[in-house]
A and B are shown apart, each in its own frame.
Chain A
Amino acid sequence: MDLENNKAQMRKGILEYCILSVLSRNSCYASDIIKELKEAEVIVVEGTLYPLLTRQKNAGTTGPSPQIL
């Protein structure tokens, strides 16, 4: 149980860096990030990403880009 929890926490921590690394190449839509992470088999369901993106946006590490808007 503890091990499972640790694994989940690690995956969660890495996921945030994955989002940043996808975005560091190019700004893109949330759906593009989802597609890329799904292909890499980092995430299984899309719902995982939305809370992270919102958290990152509020922390100021990611945000809407003027080019896309």
Chain B
Amino acid sequence: MKITVSINLGGYSFNIDEDAYAELKMYLKNLELHFAREESSSEILSDIETRMAELFRTKLTNYKQVINIEDVRQAISILGTPEDISDNNGPSARDKFSSPGYHRLYRDSDHRVIGGVCAGMAAYWDLEIWVVRLIFFVLAMMGVGILVYLILYIVLPEAKTTAEKIEMRGNPVNIHNIKDSVKKEFDTVRKNMKL
């Protein structure tokens, strides 16, 4: 017996084994990173997701209603890993990305109270969040903090993708770090399901 997860892939809903879900998620994150510097990366990814959904639908019958890890691996071998794709694609986004110390200031909406500006700065300089918040609070009392906050809120982009979140913390974006953060996310999902 296995736990299954329900996902929406390319507009179709699938029931997928837990381990297969982890594998699929990792694969899609890797692709996302691979195309991160591409102009229309979201469009490319959604095309690939649609194709993935097509491949999955051919695997389902009345007697087999859940996608397992074998199906995911097969679909990945048909679509190709980022390494396979970049072979035909010249220098890829990853080369630019993985330069050590790629470090940018983002808004961290995962730990936000208002807009994630303080959380983003805390992640960037590796400070405790409450220290940054205290500084902003004092600045606000002095009358400039709110304006500064507003300007930063407008200027700083939000860290949306895994790659951006890793950049925000100043870790080099590589497969190892992505694996870590995907695993963290996956563990949270699993914990939530058990509750």
A interface residues (Cβ-Cβ under 8 A, vs B) = 5, 8-9, 11-12, 15, 30-31, 43-48, 50-51, 53-55, 58
With contact pairs A5-B90, A51-B38 given, residues A45 and B85 touching in the complex (Cβ less than 8 Å)? yes
Query: What residues of chain B have their CB less than 8 Å away from a CB belonging to chain A?
Result: 31, 35, 38-40, 43-44, 47-48, 51, 54, 77-82, 84-85, 87-91
A-B contact pairs, 16 of them (CB 8 A): A8-B87, A8-B88, A11-B88, A44-B84, A46-B51, A46-B78, A47-B48, A47-B80, A47-B84, A48-B88, A50-B47, A50-B51, A51-B38, A54-B40, A54-B44, A55-B40
In terms of DSSP, what is the predominant structure of the interface of chain A? helix
A50 near B90: Cβ-Cβ < 8 Å: no
Q: How many angstroms between the C-alpha atoms of A8 and B87 in the bound complex?
A: 6
B80 touches A12 (CB 8 A): no
Residues in B neighbouring A31, C-beta threshold 8 A: 51, 54
Interface centre among A11, A48, A50 (most CB of B within 10 A): A50
CB <8 Å contact, B88 and A12: yes
Residues of chain B within 8 A of A12, CB atoms compared? 88-90
